[in-house]
Homo-oligomer: A and B are copies of this chain.
Amino acid sequence: MAVCELLSVGTELLLGDILNTNAQYLSQRLAQMGISVLHQTTVGDNPERLAAAVGTALSRSDIVIATGGLGPTPDDITAEICCREFGFELEFDSGTADKITSYFKNKGMEMPQSNLKQAYVPAGGTILENTHGTAPGMGMKKGGKCIVLLPGPPYEMREIFENKVVDYLSEYRSGAIVSHEVRTIGISESGLAEEFRDLIDGSNPTVAPYCKIGEAFLRVTAKADTPEEAEKMTAGVIAQIKEKIGRYIYGIDCKNIEDAIVPMLKKAGLTLATAESCTAGLVAKRITDIPGASSVFRHGVITYANEVKERELGVSHETLERFGAVSEETAVEMAKGIRRRSGADIGISVTGFAGPDADEEGKAPGLIYIALDSADVTRCEKIETGRNDRDYNRYTAASRALNLVKKYLTTEL
């Protein structure tokens, strides 16, 4: 399998002024092409350190892809340094110069003379045309190794990569890699690791556990000669996982729980309404992040204050007095209240202490109740995150409330 190193060039990256999305994009695409990225390196616009990085990268990789530093200013040195280290000469290319000139002309702008610097390309190399900007991409191949230079702006970089670099690197591609995510709620990352130790120890397919806020997932990745074969290998492992922990799984390759339940609700022809206290709109916001959610979601209420819970949802004053706003009893009355008021098939509610501080009664942040009410089932779950992180607690509560809908739809309640 060919080995690639990504070299991101730019002092702005080292200062943290910009986020390195190029490295992620290229890594993902190269993995899909069966090319192994083993190092990502970032250096500034400094000739010595860039030269050293190029040398190191060439010594341990078949392919080096450098992004950034192809602009017209004096601190754009990537082309010069990479050519020198790889033994290529830069030469003026009149075709590229013409393109740069007409790029400015088409925009009705005068071309700064400095931009002609971008018309110098490696003699004996390949110009990888940039249809979205003035800096062309460049490729050089020698002795089985290869350097690709791409401009830093993500939009230009991606365009050149897809239209030119994928072909340019075709000789390095190997087999097919297929990867799937088994997303779960209700089991921890380490719980997954314990449960599937044998699979995790395997080498192809690989299985790796990860955690996100309020949930955990397993990534199953297989390499094979063809995509079909790789798909088959992952399918076998995913079937094993489903058999063991199916009740925690809300979807395969879903972005999140809302991505899973909106289509499920649509398919079931059911509508959902929300009554939120501590999440204060986050559950509704997440449902409606999914385009087309309007066919399953029409109405939500945010009852942040107790008297609003009484007035808008009919939560009884006695319940609030006796059990408190953060209680199973209140959560259930909220879910019933919003279902009644909205006429939706399912009502869900969230009430809890998001933190970061303990409430007046001294109850710890992270204590949250979520409830679901429907014609046939009423259910409440208690959550104790043990954290005083407001964002974490609210996001987790919203995920768990949405997961209650998934459980209802899969008749696990």
Contacts and interface: CB of A to CB of B under 8 A. Distances in A.
Interface of A: 8, 11-21, 23-31, 37-44, 46, 49, 53, 71-75, 103, 106-109, 112, 114-115, 132, 153, 155, 179, 188-191, 193-194, 200-201, 208-211, 213, 219, 221, 274, 276, 278-285, 287-289, 291, 293-294, 297-305, 307-308, 312, 342, 355-357, 384-387, 389-392, 394
14 contacts: A13-B23, A13-B27, A15-B27, A20-B23, A39-B41, A71-B190, A74-B201, A114-B190, A132-B387, A284-B302, A284-B304, A299-B304, A299-B312, A301-B302
Contacts of A284: 280-281, 302, 304
A375 to B, nearest CB: 20
A49 B221 CA distance: 21
A385 B301 CA distance: 28
Contacts of A42: 23, 39-41
A107 B386 contact: yes
A390 B109 contact: no
Contacts of A300: 280-281, 301-302, 304
Given A107-B384, A132-B389, A44 B38 contact: yes
Given A283-B281, A386-B103, A39 B49 contact: yes
Contact of A27 (B14, B287, B288): B14
A391 B154 CA distance: 13
Contacts of A13: 23-24, 27, 40
A31 B43 contact: no
Contacts of A308: 298-299, 342
A15 B28 contact: yes
Contact of A38 (B14, B30, B191, B355): B14
